[in-house]
Amino acid sequence: MEVINAIGRRKSSVARIYLSEGSGKITINKKDLTEYFPSAILQYVVKQPLQLLDVVEKYDIKVNLDGGGYTGQSQALRLAIARALVKVNEEDKKALKVQGFLTRDSRAVERKKPGRPKARRRFQFSKR
C-alpha cells in the first residue's frame, strides 16, 4: 500500500496526515500522540474513526498540525483520519458518515464589528 494523504480543518486548525500500513503509531509534529495531546479525552477523539473501523493497530499516521487550540486541532485530525480511511476503503464511508466523522464543522469565531466591544455585545446603555 502506498502512502495516502488527507487534510482536515476545524476553526483555524489544519491537519495534514500521511497514512501508511504499520503498527498503529501516531506521530504529530515529530512527537508521539500521548506527548502532544496529554489529555485522554483528546486522544480518544483522535482515535475515534480508527476504533470504529477496528483498525487502530493497522496503520501508522504521520501528522503536520498547525493553528488553533488543542480541541480544534484534535477535531481537525479526526476529520483528516476519517477522510484517509475512506480513501483506503470506500465501503467504510457509510459507517464513518453515520457517526459524523466526515462532516466538516464549519463553526468559527464571528468577527468583531466596528463600534462594538465584541462581535455582538453592545456598550452599556446609559439613560443619563
| pLDDT tens, residue by residue, 61-79 | 999 999 999 999 999 999 9
Q: At 54, give phi and psi (nearest 5°).
A: 60, 45
pLDDT at 2 over 80: yes
Task: Using a pLDDT cut of 70, give the percent of the chain over it.
Answer: 100
Give the pLDDT of residue 1. Answer: 75
Cα distances (Å, whole numbers) of residue 109 to 11, 18, 65: 8, 29, 20
Mean pLDDT of the chain: 94
| pLDDT tens, residue by residue, 78-124 | 999 999 999 999 999 999 999 999 999 999 999 999 999 999 999 99
The set of cell numbers assigned to 2 is: 502506498
| pLDDT tens, residue by residue, 4-30 | 999 999 999 999 999 999 999 999 999
List, in order of start, the domains of the chain with CATH numbers.
4-99 (3.30.230.10)
**Number of C-beta neighbours around residue 58 at 10 A:** 14
**Closest CA relative to residue 79, chosen from 36, 107, 40, 46:** 46
**Helix (H) or strand (E) run with residue 13 in it:** strand 13-21
